[in-house]
């Protein structure tokens, strides 16, 4: 009983992907659009939601949506870079700005 609902959605107006936990904003990862790539610069999880897997759920949801849209990423954010290192199934999304 009492499962927590997590939803990741893009907030294009703010250039970020947000995670909602039971309809409350629990965190986000911000990006800068650069052509076909999104440069992810910063990830933040509200302290009230830390230790619940929110950061990982945010990364997974964001990367799945980026993949579905056919985009690539530049993980300048250390949190995202570390997540991709631990989850090599997302390494194919990584590109560099040239």
Q: Is residue 17 part of a domain?
A: yes
Q: Closest by alpha carbon to 93, among 24, 31, 4?
A: 31
**pLDDT at 66 (0 to 100):** 97
The count of domains in the chain is: 1
**pLDDT at 1 (0 to 100):** 36
Tokens matching residue 49:
């939601």
Interval 46-74: pLDDT, tens: 999 999 999 999 999 999 999 999 999 99
CATH of the domain at 59: 3.40.630.30
**pLDDT at 82 (0 to 100):** 98
**pLDDT at 92 (0 to 100):** 97
Q: Is residue 20 part of a domain?
A: yes
Q: Is residue 97 part of a domain?
A: no
**pLDDT per residue of the chain (98 residues) written in tens, 0 to 9:** 357 799 999 999 999 999 999 999 999 999 999 988 999 999 999 999 999 999 999 999 999 999 999 999 999 999 999 999 999 999 999 998 76
Q: Is residue 13 part of a domain?
A: yes
* Structural domain boundaries enclosing 67: 6-92
Q: Is residue 61 part of a domain?
A: yes
Q: Is residue 98 part of a domain?
A: no
């Amino acid at each position: 009983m009492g499962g927590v609902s997590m939803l990741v959605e893009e907030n294009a107006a703010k250039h970020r992907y947000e995670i909602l936990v039971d309809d409350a904003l629990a965190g986000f990862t911000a990006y800068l659009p650069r052509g076909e790539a999104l440069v992810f610069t910063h990830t933040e999880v509200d302290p009230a939601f830390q230790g619940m897997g929110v950061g990982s759920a945010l990364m997974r949801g964001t990367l799945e949506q980026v993949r579905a849209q056919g985009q690539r990423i530049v993980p300048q954010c250390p949190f995202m870079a570390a997540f991709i290192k631990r989850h090599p199934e997302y390494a194919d999304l990584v590109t560099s700005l040239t």
